[in-house]
A and B are shown apart, each in its own frame.
Chain A
Amino acid sequence: MMRVLVLGADGFVGLRVARALAASDWAVPVVGCRRANAACRLERIVLDATDRADLRQAVIGMDAIVNCVAGDARTIVANADALFHAAADRRIVHMSSMAVYGSAIGMVAEDAPLLPDTNAYAVARVEAEHLAEAAHNVVMLRPGCIYGAGSAQWSRRIADLLTLRRIGDLGANGDGGSNVVHIDDVVAAILSALRTPEVRGPVNLAMPDAPDWNGYFLAFARALGEVPVRRVPGWQLTLDTKGLAIPLKLAEKLTGRLPPPIPPSLARLWRQDIRLDPTRASVALGVQWTPLAVGLAEAAAWLRPRSDA
């Protein structure tokens, strides 16, 4: 049995990976978490994933590591630095992000230049990938927007905004490529990467022929029953982005219950016509992509009890 250390296992992707490994007949997950979690039945190590000494200790006896640590820019860089120095030649599946392509447009394959020109997060993601050069056996997954049950960003938040009719048909403001990828496909890619040691380096993760954002919003609105979608005029989105973003963010932090803001970076992403080329994930990792309608139906079912409550 392969012993796999899962870092960031209290997060959306990490938790799903740990469960999938536990359900497998070839791997045993060991979850690395900042806090001891009583509810977690899996074997676990309490550690600080940004601490070199903690990680050197934690990787002892591990065959592979899945790194799902997320957070602010400093955490991402410190985590990468600590992990890649500790890992030696162990297999590492590192969750990076499409953010490494920055403001690139058009079809983007893994050999496209890294362009950390958008924000501090992108800079950190690129730096983390550079730090991976210290290790020898790394596959870096660069997912687009991960949706599905459990996705706060690309399922719950979008559903809330659709329900409020703050988004819908955005016209030119929704022409960007969504590059969505279902959580199940991300988990499958990670598991496949663990068992395919000859695959190294970056791999894009986005469903083939992912819709543009307008198409994603419409398909999701249909699954949620939130149709007809509204054509949101450009001036309204601008007002929402510029005028409401800061007050809503503050209010959300204070109460945790308010409708989500649309920060300018999000509105920018919806316009960015970038298309991740998923060929390598399909061919080298053999990912079978969840059809959009199936994935959205699952996401809508996950959200439904919440809206009934």
Chain B
Amino acid sequence: MTDLPDTPAIAGSVCVVGAGPVGIALALRLAELGRDVVLLEAGGTTHDASKQDAYRGTVTDPALHYPLDEYRERRLGGTSTIWGGRCMPLDPIDFAPRDWIPDSGWPIGPDALAAYYPDANRLCEAGAFAYTLDAAFPDVRKPMIAGFAGQHFTSDTLERFSCPTDFGKRYRDRLAQSPRIRVLLGAAVTHIALNADGTAVTGLSVRTDAGATVPIVAQAYVLATGGLETARLLLASRDVQPSGIGNAHDVVGRYYMCHLAGTIGAFHATGAVWHGYDMAADGSYCRRRLALTAETQTAQRIGNFVARLHHPRIADPAHGASVLSALYLGRMLVPAHYRKRLADEGAGGIATTARHAWNIARDPLAVAGFAKQMLVDRRLAERKFPSVVVAPKNNVYSLDFHAEQEPQPDSRVTLGEDRDAFGMPRLTVDWRYTRGDVTTVQTALALLSDDLARSGCGRFDFDPDMVETEMTRYGAYGGHHIGTARMGDDPRRSVVDKDCRVHGIANLHLAGAAVFPTSSQANPTLTAVALALRLADRLQVGAA
């Protein structure tokens, strides 16, 4: 691992820009396939505020989208240095063109990724590629919700958790040991140079920490810089193609999607409920979810949707759970943004505080056990217990949902007027959601309520009028930057082809969630890594 030398050009077979999970996975696989790789990373090995500054930008509606230098990291390992580690593959329906969702449909099907998911899972350290209860836990038969037999929802699919693995730390030695990989830190790409007719990349301009500009020349180039920076780099390189690279048809930066997530309602369970984690043989934490079936998505003409059982509102002492009450009373000790969320649940008076104290007094052992778990299984562990799971005494749960966001061209990122220290235009994000997105969540919750009632599992109450408020309470789901350079067969409506190659440019490929045409219910990292492994094979075919 080296800093940039002062040589005029570095010839490498493939130049990968961005050493996040996608870039690292791609570089490692290319090296295995016998390709020489130069891996460029703008950041260093630690969080550096001066580097992070390059990510700052403008958000059109700050209530709907977090600041652009949050939820992403400019350093080795990229945003995997701060991710939560939730992994799951896309569902087959996500790839299909759905006539009720404009601009849906991938140019590849689920089969194209099937061969790559297991390796992606391994690189993410999420254990075996087994995402159903039968596949992962043939012996576990404790149901998520006793008696649940849904018409619209299944309860036997899983999400699995990475450690969460910081790809920078985890694969640093492997990158350094590989004789085929050169990692250059402090190497910020500022320009992508094209030949005169705009059919091939001739080189990259790289700004070093010392302020020098160094050209990088390779055979093939891959941008693995995340959904926001990828659009920014393409749009900012305007000397040959005036509207930006790959943007002749004004698609780059459009169709920007995150996910729609929130916590809502009250499920009054009548029977046994298991909403905790199961640990797979490989040690990874797995959790079951309530997943909307493809049939119902089709019949109801809505997007993809999953929900998890969540503990009830912490602020309301009616849950009777000493752990939740302790969290509530101890909220001054937790990080500021959690505190804000707790505060949003409503401030309590003296009476509320007393009831929380009573909850704790009735079951102090649970608090001690929870504290031990947080210390041993989370703080000290390298594979971390993924979240707070508390069984409420009154068997009332809220629902955590995570829904697909429809692609729409008006939700977009553009270049603003400001520039960063390297002279790169800063981004402006105008994230938008649709009526259809609200309908997806409203309809799915209503169907889930039906399923639960019909199965005799209990009552799920929620206020349909609060759905939009809840799903935008914290704005777009943080860290999922999807769709800004979408994949498609038609160059007028997409940026890359099914091999992730920029339309019309022989040797420029994009990796990462930027190329996803739709967002699915799934967190994007696992699929982005799988797609990168596939891209390594595609590049290999191209070179042969």
Contacts and interface: CB of A to CB of B under 8 A. Distances in A.
Nearest to B180: A106
Interface in A273-304: 273
Interface string B167-180: 00111111001010
Nearest to B173: A172
A171 B281 contact: no
A157 interface: no
Interface string A229-265: 1111110000000000000000000000000000000
Interface in A89-108: 105-106
B282 interface: yes
B193 interface: no
B164 to A, nearest CB: 12
Interface residues of A, number: 20
Contacts, number: 47
A230 B283 contact: yes
B525 to A, nearest CB: 18
B94 interface: no
B382 A234 contact: yes
A222 interface: yes
B283 A233 contact: no
Contacts of A234: 382
A228 B282 contact: yes
A231 B281 contact: no
Given A231-B163, A233-B380, A233-B382, A169 B282 contact: yes
Contact of B382 (A105, A106, A171): A171
A143 interface: no
Contact of A172 (B170, B282, B283, B381): B170
Contacts of B381: 231, 233
Given A169-B282, A218-B282, A231 B383 contact: yes
B110 to A, nearest CB: 26
B174 A229 contact: no
B280 interface: yes
Contacts of A233: 380-382
A185 interface: no
Contacts of A228: 279-283
Interface in A14-71: none
Q: Identify the 3 closest CB pairs spanning chains A and B, nearest first.
A: A231-B383, A227-B281, A233-B382
Interface of B: 125, 163, 169-174, 177, 179, 279-283, 380-383
Given A169-B283, A171-B170, 19 more contacts: A105-B177, A169-B282, A171-B125, A171-B163, A171-B382, A172-B173, A172-B174, A175-B174, A227-B281, A227-B282, A229-B281, A229-B282, A229-B283, A231-B283, A231-B381, A231-B382, A232-B382, A233-B380, A273-B177
